[in-house]
Each structure stands twice: as structure tokens, then as C-alpha cells.
Amino acid sequence: MSAKHGPPKRSDESYATPPFCCESLLSELSLPGGRWLEPCAGDGAIIRAVSALRGDVSWAACEVREACREPLRAISSVEQVVLGDFFAPESQQALMEQGKFDVIITNPPFSLAGDFINACLPLATVTIMLLRLNYLEGAERAPFWRCHAPDCFVLPNRPSFTGHGTDATAYCWMVFYGNAERTHGHLRVLPVVPAEQRKSR
């Protein structure tokens, strides 16, 4: 979120992803079915949005908040719920019992975005992060981007993560393919979604 223009930061940095963000991405990006992981699952906003469109995905979900356990378990496509810190060894061990994931997709806490990217890339064939487009900026991140360039799918409509308006920041899905070195990525602008459709979902 934009520090100057966005709403006050919540203590747990929990911002549910509007369904249209996932729907737009899936309309433009071909992804394998199989085992997918949501490492910042919340109450399952991304999982529900994807599952409404894809019947070939089974989910593992990781979340730190106890209150999200039952909402996640209530989603029929969720096969595993790990409640705890994603970075903790016991969480990693539980999640990786069945091996590498086909896809990891998440909207990570901004303050931990780099940590989530680094942790997730080795764990999946495809890793997808919803991030501010300007996350590509910064001299400190430049060496990483020059070796792990993602494909960027830009959302032309700014999402509202609180239901009370948007901030002054552009967002995109950054798509990584494994942990191999990649010096160039592609940029694609996703379809415009009418305001009525964004509000009704």
C-alpha cells in the first residue's frame, strides 16, 4: 500500500484480495493444475476466487491467525491448512511433505514481500505475487531483478483492499518461473474490469 495515500496500515497487514484481480490474471495466463499453495491465505479470498474458475486445483493454505482456520477448512478445494508462521521450519516441513508445488500464489505483506519471494521460488514451478508495480524500483533490489526477472501482469484498475476506496499505487501480478536465473521478463496489461463488476464480486 502507498504509505502517503493509502489507508492506515493494519497491525497484521491483512488486506483481502478482490476476486477480480485473480479473475483477470487467470483470463490471460495459462497455469498448470495440481497442487497450489497460498502462504498468506487469510480467510481464503484468493483460494475462493481461483477455485470458482478452476476445478483442477487442490490447495494447501498457510496462515498465522487462528480465526482463519475454520473459514479455510470450509473451502472444499483446500486439502491442507497449516496454522503458523510460513517461515518456521515446522510449517515448511508440513507444507512440503508431498513435494514441490505446481503454483504458489499470494498477496504477501508488503514489509515481508522480499522474504516471501525468496522463500517461495524454490518451492514451486510457478510463483505469483501481487505487488505494487513500483516494487521493481530501488537500487537494493536491482541485483535480484537482474537475475530473477518476473513477467508482470498489470492491473489497470486499482484494487480496493479495504472496501473503502483505492490508494494511489499501481499493482501487478509478478510471475516467477522456478528459481532459475532469468534476465528478462514480459509486461502485459490485464483487461479493464467495469466498476460494477469489481464491486459486485
CATH number at residue 109: 3.40.50.150
Note whether 145 and 135 are within 8 A (CB): no
Q: Please give the grid coordinates belonging to residue 177.
A: 518461473
> Which residue is listed with cell 518476473?
150
> Which residue is listed with cell 474458475?
53
The number of folded domains in the chain is 1
Does a structural domain hold residue 199? Answer: no
Does a structural domain hold residue 7? Answer: no
For the chain, the distance separating the N- and C-terminal CA atoms, rounded to the nearest angstrom, is 21
Does a structural domain hold residue 160? Answer: yes
Highest mean pLDDT among 1-5, 125-129, 193-197: 125-129
Does a structural domain hold residue 197? Answer: no
List the 78-83 sheet strands across, edge first. Answer: 78-83, 57-63, 34-38, 101-106, 124-132, 171-177, 151-155, 187-189
pLDDT at position 7 is 35
Q: With a cut of 70, say whether residue 162 has pLDDT above it.
A: no
Rg over CA atoms, the chain: 16
Does a structural domain hold residue 12? Answer: no
Note whether 48 and 16 are within 8 A (CB): no
Mean pLDDT (the chain) is 90
Does a structural domain hold residue 198? Answer: no
Cα–Cα nearest to 106, from 180, 52, 25, 164: 25
Does a structural domain hold residue 6? Answer: no
Residues 150-161 pLDDT 10s:
999 999 998 877
Pairing of strands 78-83, 34-38: unpaired
Task: Give residue 74's domain range.
Answer: 19-191
Average pLDDT rounded to a whole number, residues 113-129 = 97
pLDDT at position 16 is 87
pLDDT at position 15 is 75
Q: With a cut of 60, say whether residue 56 has pLDDT above it.
A: yes
Q: Please give the grid coordinates belonging to residue 126.
A: 510457478
Q: What Å distances lie between residue 135 and 37, 96, 129, 150, 190, CA to CA?
A: 22, 28, 11, 12, 18
Q: Please give the grid coordinates belonging to residue 12.
A: 497484521
Does a structural domain hold residue 54? Answer: yes
pLDDT at position 159 is 86
For residue 13, the one-letter residue type is: E
